[in-house]
Structure 1
Amino acid sequence: MTGSVVLIHLAGAVALLLWATRMVRTGVERAYGDVLRRKLRGTLRNPLLAVAAGGALAIAFQSATAVSLLVGSFAGSGIVTGAAGLVAVLGADLGSAFVVKLLSFDLPLLVPIALFVGTTIFLATERRAWRQFGRILVGVGLLILSLRLIGEASEPLRESGILPVVVNYLAADPVTAFLIAAVATWLFHSSVAFILLIVALAARGLVPAELGIVMVLGANLGGGLIAAMLSRTMSPPSRVVPLGNLAIRAIGALLALAGIVWLHPPLELLGASVPLQIVHAHIVFNVALVIAGIPFAGLVARTIERLLAYAAPPVPVSFEDKDTNALDPEALGTPSRALANVTRAVVGVCETIEVMLKNIMELYEEPDRARMAALAALDDRVDRRHAAIKLYLARITTGQMNDDEARRTQELLGACVKLEQVGDIIVRNMLVHVGKKLDRGLNFTPEGWRELLNLHAAVVANARLAFNVLISRDTETALQLVREKDRLRDVERATSRSHFERLREGTPRSVETSSLHLDTIRDLKQINSLLASIAYPVLEERGMLGGTRLKAAE
């Protein structure tokens, strides 16, 4: 087998590894993301619980980067302090190390089982949670399969004359190996995937233990760099956690690298084989970071906050300014350009509505006057954007529009009106319910609150589908959104029945919160109906919408 063929096979196996990792992460995010966020938010105040919660979330998401950005957003919203968020992310890094350990086991039988069961579940049901669970299983199967393919693809490299030269050079120059690993991890956008690649090559005898550990240290630095780079467009308070994590990981990795180079510790203590030594070194390093990082988390967070405050521009550009810039008046004479500008502006409205949807349920759980006022201000922002978009659409030169552009104009205008109505329901109805709950000191029953959370999670998931339909105009996504509307109607009926059963039983808290409970169900149902209607123009254009119901699938 020629060298080029070997590299093609290896590149394909690595690409499958990256894709499988992404499949698992997105499956967990779509199915359980909102629940996991709420659980994490409630445990961050205790350092030990924060470490455990961050680790569990990293195992679920298969990504410490996702946890770092999520916790960073919590810190930016004032839900947790930067120090508490930093501790949670250190726990996430440790959880990510345990993911590598779990995936390093030889589990050949799990591949066909995970692929078969996952595919069967995905195809056998239309329920989102079950379909995403099937997606997760397929991703796990492909991930383990990719590791086997990497091992098989790298087998011919044992006889290569070039590889030993490269390996010997890197082994003799650990600093270069460390930097290459950091850059490669950043390019992979996954420290788990890169370290699994190193472990797979080590299992074939292609990477010695000390070089593998040096590259694992570089991967840890690169993993911190990923989140820090992805957070560069976030607000300064939200960047404290990713940047603080990067600082701790960089200092820890450099100290560990110096220890490896100068002290040459006995690596045999980490395991009987080279792959075990590499995996265990990764875990030991992250355990050490957790132990050393907890006492210094506050100091690091405060230092990063001061640096960000010092580096902040004196006159920041507001969100509204950026949206106004998207509606370029010079593009009005070219409908295609003008509609592209409107699409960008509507995306900004979608992002604000999603924030409002998420925040309103957090206020139901923990009412706060300041955050209620902030949510109301978001609705004012939506109203301003809606007015600007409507005026801009009215000024586009209609004489040069073709039929598709005319339809797109009406579609964007209709979607923007619906989004503005969603914002009104959140603020004028649901926010009023939050105020009543706060003023009267009411609390839902555990069963009632769980039902509302499940209903809210379904609406948030449907909102994301609606936003995707609006941008991509994908038929399958539009069909899924309309089907989810019907499914949510059944969930709403079941929720209402459960509530009335508790009323008949005379449950005190159900009686006290009955009006709030039923009004919230009604509001969530209305929001979901508005969002689902965004799919109608796409389905109608393709002849898939008959009257008020979907045509039977052919």
Structure 2
Amino acid sequence: MSGSVVLLHLAGAVALMLFATRMVKTGVERAYGDVLRHRLRATMRNPFLAVLAGTGLAIAFQSSTAVTLLVSSFAGSGIVSGAAGQLAVRGAEIGSALVVKLLTFDLTLLVPLCLVSGTVMFMATERRDWRQIGRILVGIGLLILSLEMIGQASEPLRESRLMPVIINYFSTDLITAFLLAGLVTWLFQSSIAAVLLMATLAGRGFITPELGIALVLGVNLGSSLIAPLLTRTAEPAVRVVPIGNLLMRGMGSVVMLILFMTFKPTVAFLGATAPDQIVNAHILFNVIILIAGIPLAGLVYKASERIVALGTPPESAESLATVELSALNEAALDMPSQALANATREVVRVCETVEIMLKRIIELYEKADPEKIRALAALDDRVDRKHAAIKLYLAKATARPMTEDEALRCQELIGACVKLEQVGDIIVRNMLVHVQKKFDRGLEFTDEGWRELTAFHASVLANARLAFNVLISRDATTARQLVQEKDRLRDFEKETSNSHFVRLRDGTAKSVETSSIHLDTIRDLKQINSLLASMVYPVLEEQGLLSGSRLKTG
């Protein structure tokens, strides 16, 4: 077999591993993301529990980077302290390393079991939670299968004359090997995938234990760079936790490499085989960083804040965030196609503002920050201004000759704009009132009630994004999916209301106290969802897919 064919097989196996890792992560996020986020928020105030929460989330998400980004968003919103966030990330690195250890065992029997059961669960039902569990099982099966494929694909390399030369070179140049491993990890966007690849190659005799230690340290350097790079354009408060992780884990890997090259300790105590030594070295490194990070969490957080502040330009007299541009060019009114395109751009901006409002309102239910409440109300004022400007612009455009299709598009944009303005009013005039009432009275939702609210909100937010996409793409399939989701959400509302009344009947104190807020919030979210779904009706009517108030069958 030629070298190019061997590398092609190896690349395919690695690609499958990366795809399977992402498949498991997205499945967990979609099925349990809201519950896990709520649990994380509730436990982050205790340093010990913060470490355990980070560990558990990393095992669930198959990614320490995902946990780092999640924790950094919480820290940026003021939900958790920066020091607690640092400890949660430390726990996430331990969880990520434990996932690697688990996947190095002989799990070949799980491949057919996971693939068969996962496929059946995914295809046999339309229930979202069961389909996501099926996705997770298929992902696990593919992940284990990919490890076997990597081993088989790399087998012909044993006979290669070039491979020993490459290994010998890197064994004598650990710094280059360290940097290369960091680059590979950054390209993979996954320390789990990188360590598994190295452990598999070590099992075939391609990587010596000493070289493996340098590569593992490089993996940790590369992994610590992913989150800071992904959040480089985020708000300063969001970037602090990823920078702190880079200071601890990234700098720690450099220090460990220097110590390893200086003292050249034996690695036999790490395990009997090269793969075990590599994986155990990865776990040991992150345990050391965790132990060192507990007393240094506060100091590292302060240093991270200073580093972020150095890279943040001072605000100008007129903040760019307050500058509003308008696409409503009066000169284009004589060209209906251009005028409609301009109006569409402006409506999309209203969609973005409404999405931000819808996303932020649920955070205020948990922590009613007065400044954020004022900011949300200001966004509604912006929606009102743009809504009025768009209606006036389109009214002027309709005074010019238009084709029938252009006139219909004009009406569609006006209708969408009206509904978006109504959504903004519901968020500010209804839901913000519930927020203020909840915190004025010091009320708290039950765990089950809060999970129901956040799950319902997540469904509405997902449907909002579908509606905004249809406004641009005018895709009938997506429009049909959105209306079907409206029916599913109606059933979800009935289940939620029934569960709430059961808790009331059982006399749960928190349910009694928050009953009106809970039910009113569900009602408001359902109304928002109905308004958003109605935005796509013109597309369905145009395709003949809407009959009265119901979708046509077929």
Partners in 2 of 1:304 and 1:400 — Cα distance? 60
Counterpart of 1:286? 286
For 1:552, the equivalent position in structure 2 comes to 553
Equivalent-residue separation in structure 1 for 2:211 and 2:81 (angstroms): 38
Closer, same or farther in 2 for the Cα pair 1:245/1:357, shift >3 Å? Answer: same
> 1:455-475 deviations in whole A, cap 9, x for unaligned?
333323433444454555555
Aligned to 2:235: 235
1:119, 1:498 → 2: CA distance?
Answer: 31
Q: Does 1:418 align with 2:419?
A: yes
Answer whether contact 2:368 2:439 (CA < 8 A) is retained.
Answer: yes
2:328 is aligned with 1:318? no
Deviates more, 1:448-457 or 1:484-493: 448-457
* Distance of 2:339 and 2:104 partners within structure 1: 52
1:87 equivalent to 2:92? Answer no
Give 1:18's aligned residue. 18
What is the DSSP-based 3-state SS (H/G/I as helix, E as strand, rest coil) of the residue aligned with 2:325? helix
Aligned partner of 2:301 in structure 1 is 301
Asked whether the 8 Å contact 2:155–2:204 carries over to 1, the reply is yes
Give 1:431-510 correspondences, 5 Å limit.
431-445=432-446, 447-470=448-471, 474-501=475-502, 510=511
Deviates more, 1:408-417 or 1:436-445: 408-417
Of stretches 266-275 and 329-338 in structure 1, the one that deviates more from structure 2 is 329-338
Aligned-residue Cα RMSD (Å) equals 3.1
State the shift of 1:149 in Å. Answer: 1.2
| Distance change >3 Å, CA 41–CA 403, structure 1 → 2 | farther
Tell me what 2:524 maps to. Answer: 523
| Cα 1:543/1:111, change in 2 over 3 Å | farther
| Aligned twin of 1:533 | 534
| Aligned twin of 1:182 | 182
Corresponding residue of 1:275:
275
C-alpha contact 1:209 1:274 (8 A) present in aligned 2: yes
Corresponding residue for residue 121 of structure 2:
121
- The AA in structure 1 aligned to 2:213 is I
Q: What amino acid sits opposite 1:431 in the alignment?
A: L
Letter in 2 for 1:214: A
C-alpha deviation, 1:497, in angstroms? 3.4
**1:326 Cα deviation from its structure 2 partner:** 7.3
Structure 1 residue 249, shift from structure 2 partner? 1.5
Which residue number in structure 2 is paired with residue 70 of structure 1? 70
**Cα separation, 1, equivalents of 2:53 and 2:422:** 37
Identity of aligned residues (%): 66
Cα 1:26–1:498 shift into 2, 3 Å: closer
Corresponding position of 2:161: 161
| Separation in structure 2 between the aligned mates of residue 328 and residue 90 of structure 1, nearest angstrom | 52
Alignment of 1:95-106 (within 5 A): 95-106=95-106
Say which SS state the counterpart of residue 423 (structure 1) adopts: helix
Counterpart-to-counterpart distance in 1, 2:234 and 2:401: 39
Residue segments in structure 1 that go unaligned for 5+ positions in a row: none
Change (3 A) 1:447 1:89: closer
CA deviation profile, 1:308-364 (whole Å, cap 9, x unmatched): 22332233653353x627778899899888877776766655554444334333333
Distance 1:84-1:3 versus aligned 2 partners, 3 A rule: same
Unmatched tracts of structure 2, length 5 or more: none
The size of the alignment, in residue pairs, is: 552
Aligned mates of 1:478, 1:150 — CA distance in 2 = 42
- 2:546 and 2:456 mapped to 1: Cα distance? 26
1:509–1:47 CA distance, 2 compared to 1 (3 A): closer
DSSP 3-state at the match of 2:231: helix
- The answer (yes or no) to whether the contact 1:30–1:461 under 8 Å persists in 2 is no
Cα 1:55/1:465, change in 2 over 3 Å: farther
Distance in 1 between the 2:521 and 2:492 partners?
14
Contact 1:333 1:397 (8 Å CA) reproduced: no
Letter of the structure 2 residue corresponding to residue 319 of structure 1: A
Per-residue deviation, 1:527: 1.4
User: Within 5 A, what are the aligned runs for 1:348-367?
Assistant: 349-367=350-368
Amino acid at match of 1:376: A
Asked if structure 1 preserves the Cα contact closer than 8 Å seen for 2:34 and 2:455, the reply is: no
My pick for the range that moved more, 408-417 or 209-218, is 408-417
Code of the aligned partner of 2:140? V
Aligned partner of 2:223 in structure 1 is: 223
Aligned counterparts of 2:279 and 2:295: Cα–Cα separation in 1? 26
C-alpha change, 1:245 and 1:547, in structure 2 (3 Å) is same
- Counterpart Cα distance in 2 of 1:65 and 1:327: 41
Residue type of the partner of 2:67? V
Deviates more, 1:487-496 or 1:423-432: 487-496
